[in-house]
Structure 1
Amino acid sequence: MRFSQLDLATLSQYQRTTLLFRYPDDGQPGDVIFLAGSRMALTLRLPAAVALYQAGRAPYLLISGGRRWRNQPRGEAAALGAAAEAQGVPAEALLLENKAQYTLQNVQFSKTLLDQTLGLDHIHRIILVTNNYHMNRLYHMMASQLPAHIQYSFHGTTDDATKADNWYRSDLGKRHVHHELASLQTAIKKGQVRDYDVPMDVLRKY
């Protein structure tokens, strides 16, 4: 069964969890760390991305996001870039994409930036940093929009309400999970993301 064919209304808690929370960090070094901005990225995602850089996982940190939040009035990339520098990431290691308003634009605009700065032909692995529940959609958008030779590693972060073992206990967690699944189906139907086979461990419970 293809992802676009799933009836989201009938998915069990197990199936939703298994579809989204399936991206452990393999520890592989990469060419660039990719951080998708968000309202809570300063406290949730940025520390993880900086730690990866400081651990030597990749020589560059790309931060994407143009939305403005109360805690990021200059925009996501500007605020997160300044915070990364304050935490020890040198300016020459930062690539800032400051126009994206949503995930697909994060991917599309960052693709252009990577091609202009590093060259897509020279990039072989990207380490994705985002919330765990968002990783599935971000990965499939990246894999669909960027060249096929690029591989990915995953470093998910989490908030207290949207962990694999508790998202279903709060309205916020349920909204996040439903939004991720529905948004990915919509992107596939619009031709923005390649459809894909649902993993067998999900289908066995379908």
Structure 2
Amino acid sequence: MRLSELNPDRLSKDQITSFMFDDTRDDGNDGDCILVFGAKTIHRVEKAANLYHDKRAPSILVTGSAARWGVNETAEAIWMKDHLIKLGVPEEDILIELEASNTTENVIASMMVLQQAYGLHTIKRLLIVSSPFHMKRCLLTLKTYMPDWITYTFCSDDRKVGQRDNWWTDSTEKERVIKEVHSISKYAGLGIIEDVDIPSL
């Protein structure tokens, strides 16, 4: 089966769990930078701050514009930066990307910020922070667009429900996971992410 052929209506709960969560677990490795995908959610900010304070990476890159929220709204990256500072992260260790309005743009625009800050060739590993249901799409998008020498450690936020072992117990989180499977299939079909084989399904 290929990504473009995914249909959550034909998959069991265990198959969806395996596909969405098996390869996005925290492997414990440290990285060169923490990349936080754009959203105005405190869960992601708290996770990034904890990783920073645990010395898992020396800096945090927050990404996201105000496009989804309206012209007079605060950009996602600025919102996250302000909350990171409140959580004790020094401003000089926070990088900001203000143009991206979706997952693909988060990845592409972040490459320029990393290039300007460090030189993309020096980046070996990124710690990836997003919501649990979003991590698989992050992985697939990173693999499609980022240089192949960069590796990733996936650090989903620590919300109580919506994790690998309980996503189906909450109606909102279940809906998010099912929607993501549909989105991944759609984007693979459109060529936005690489349409690869899924041998385990």
TM-score (norm 2): 0.89
Q: Percent identity?
A: 33
Q: Shift in Å at residue 53 of structure 1?
A: 0.9
Q: Shift in Å at residue 159 of structure 1?
A: 3.4
Match of 2:34 in 1: 33
Q: Tell me the secondary structure at the aligned position of residue 56 of structure 2.
A: coil
Match of 1:74 in 2: 74
Instruction: Tell me if the contact between 1:31 and 1:125 (Cα under 8 Å) persists in the aligned partners.
Output: yes
Matched residues, number: 198
Deviations 1:40-95 (A, max 9, x none): 2xx2111110111111111110001113659x942211111122122222222111
Q: Tell me the secondary structure at the aligned position of residue 197 of structure 1.
A: coil
Question: In structure 1, what is the Cα distance between the partners aligned to 2:199 and 2:86?
Answer: 41
Q: Tell me the secondary structure at the aligned position of residue 45 of structure 1.
A: helix
TM-score (norm 1): 0.87
1:45 equivalent to 2:80? Answer no
1:1-206 correspondence to structure 2 within 5 Å: 1-22=1-22, 23-40=24-41, 43-67=42-66, 73-200=73-200, 203=201
Question: In structure 2, what is the Cα distance between the partners aligned to 1:109 and 1:73?
Answer: 20
Question: In structure 1, what is the Cα distance between the partners aligned to 2:192 and 2:126?
Answer: 20
Q: Tell me the secondary structure at the aligned position of residue 156 of structure 2.
A: strand
Question: In structure 1, what is the Cα distance between the partners aligned to 2:160 and 2:90?
Answer: 31
Question: In structure 2, what is the Cα distance between the partners aligned to 1:167 and 1:87?
Answer: 28
Question: In structure 2, what is the Cα distance between the partners aligned to 1:83 and 1:39?
Answer: 10
Deviations 1:11-60 (A, max 9, x none): 111111111122221111111101112132xx211111011111111111
Q: Tell me, which stretches of 5 or more residues in structure 2 are unaligned?
A: none
Q: Shift in Å at residue 104 of structure 1?
A: 1.3
AA aligned to 1:65 is G
Q: Which runs of 4+ in 1 moved over 6 A?
A: none
Instruction: Tell me if the contact between 1:39 and 1:69 (Cα under 8 Å) persists in the aligned partners.
Output: no
Q: Tell me, which stretches of 5 or more residues in structure 1 are unaligned?
A: none
AA aligned to 1:29 is D
Instruction: Tell me if the contact between 1:30 and 1:125 (Cα under 8 Å) persists in the aligned partners.
Output: yes
AA aligned to 1:56 is K
Instruction: Tell me if the contact between 2:6 and 2:182 (Cα under 8 Å) persists in the aligned partners.
Output: no
AA aligned to 2:128 is L
Q: How big is the alpha-carbon RMSD for the aligned residues of Structure 1 and Structure 2?
A: 2.0
Q: Shift in Å at residue 160 of structure 1?
A: 4.3
Question: In structure 2, what is the Cα distance between the partners aligned to 1:161 and 1:88?
Answer: 26
Question: In structure 1, what is the Cα distance between the partners aligned to 2:29 and 2:164?
Answer: 23
Q: Which moved more, 1:160-169 or 1:101-110?
A: 160-169
Q: Tell me the secondary structure at the aligned position of residue 127 of structure 2.
A: strand
Q: Tell me the secondary structure at the aligned position of residue 178 of structure 1.
A: helix
AA aligned to 2:55 is G
Q: Shift in Å at residue 199 of structure 1?
A: 4.8
